[in-house]
Amino acid sequence: MEGIRVVLKRKFSASQFWNDCRKHNVTVIQYIGETMRYLCNTPKAENQCVNNVRIVIGNSIRANTWIEFLQRFGHVRICEFYGATEGNIGFMNYTGKIGAIGRMSVFVKIAELFALLMYDTESEKPVRDSRGFGMEVVTGETGLLVAKISKVAPFSGYANNQQQTDKKTLRNVFQEGDVYFNSGDLMRVDREGFVYFQDRTGDTFRWKGENVATTEVTDILIMLDFIEESNVYGVKVPGHEGGIGMAAVRLREGMAFDGSVMHQHVESYLPAYSRPRFIRIQRAMNITSTFKQMKVKLAEEGFNPKTIQDPLYFLDDEKKTYMAMMEDIFSSICDGRLRL
């Protein structure tokens, strides 16, 4: 039996990617993280639709990137999937529904293999009812994905790390004695049964009693023509509960940051509680080896202009713009003279 030919390259190159596909007659490509968006950001070329790729499979593609990819590089079948090495559940979008990671099948409904639980981002725990059991969200709302642990769908845990294993298991979710795998991911299911990834539990933050999904805010920010990349996260503010929105962005080459345009944009598309209050301009974004954005260090660094060398901006609702973040503004926020 003849095996499938696989083409590997030592380092990902967006500029050479399609030339390599044509050279080796590639028909199926795999993506992770932001690689699809990197391809969409390459200069347009006359032969960009000339390739034999028919299937694209991977995870973490944004809906707007999905649409742009199809427009730029031809009609191909994109199969977005969801799963974790240690997890006991996975999804695959076979139908091409833009933005979805899969669909809830009749079998899944009957077997009750997973559920989306109401989740409190402040306590970082699922919401429990008066009896101590978990509460499912209604269709269309965002909830924590949990999957029932059974012989059919086991969870072996982490070798020599019982603490981490316990962290990923939830007990007595719907009845005494049941055990569920805690994915740590927030999902929603629409009326057609399509499943959509919303955010990681650690990435979602709470401000003024409202949950803010960082991926949703990011999708809005990158609609602006001068923003190339955006990484949204919550930062702590003295005297306030939860975290307030901040975004690290990278500007498109040759373009400048426009505070007034950005203010008008976020005011049009985002509710007040989820609009980024602080903007940090970076030359390069911090990403992992699998092209995932890093937020923890940025959140820890906060918005102090004394310690951050990157240009910082502050959302001024009265002046309807993002203005340069000065030390007096920072001091006013910290001592409570400037209300957020």
Q: 36 with 127, same domain?
A: no
CB 250 within 8 A of CB 221: no
Q: 218 with 192, same domain?
A: no
Which residue segment(s) compose the domain that 213 sits in? 203-334
pLDDT at 295 (0 to 100): 81
Does residue 94 fall inside a structural domain?
A: no
Q: 226 with 249, same domain?
A: yes
Q: Both ends of the chain: CA-CA distance in Å?
A: 66
Strand-pair category, 194-200 with 179-189: antiparallel
Does residue 186 fall inside a structural domain?
A: yes
pLDDT at 129 (0 to 100): 93
CB 215 within 8 A of CB 204: no
Amino acid of residue 20: D
Q: 327 with 281, same domain?
A: yes
CB 219 within 8 A of CB 199: no
Residue 15, classified by CB atoms within 10 Å of its CB into exposed (0-12), middle (13-18) or buried (19+), is exposed
pLDDT at 161 (0 to 100): 85
Q: 48, 82, 116 — which closes off a domain?
A: 82
pLDDT at 272 (0 to 100): 92
CA distance 307 to 118: 38
Q: What's the domain count of the chain?
A: 3
Q: 289 with 242, same domain?
A: yes
Please state the three-class secondary structure of 22-58 as a single string: HHCCCCEEEECCCHHHHHHCCCCCCCCCCCCCCEEEE
- Length of the chain, in residues: 340
Q: 59 with 112, same domain?
A: no
Question: Which ranges of the chain have pLDDT less than 70?
Answer: 1-2, 106, 108-112, 122, 289-291
Does residue 11 fall inside a structural domain?
A: no
CATH of the domain at 133: 2.30.38.10
pLDDT at 100 (0 to 100): 94
CATH of the domain at 294: 3.30.300.30
Does residue 340 fall inside a structural domain?
A: no
Q: 72 with 109, same domain?
A: no
Does residue 268 fall inside a structural domain?
A: yes
Does residue 4 fall inside a structural domain?
A: no
pLDDT at 109 (0 to 100): 67
| Element holding 169 (H helix, E strand) | strand 169-171
pLDDT at 210 (0 to 100): 83
Q: 58 with 109, same domain?
A: no
Q: 216 with 235, same domain?
A: yes
CB 51 within 8 A of CB 74: yes
Q: 233 with 315, same domain?
A: yes
| Element holding 80 (H helix, E strand) | strand 77-82
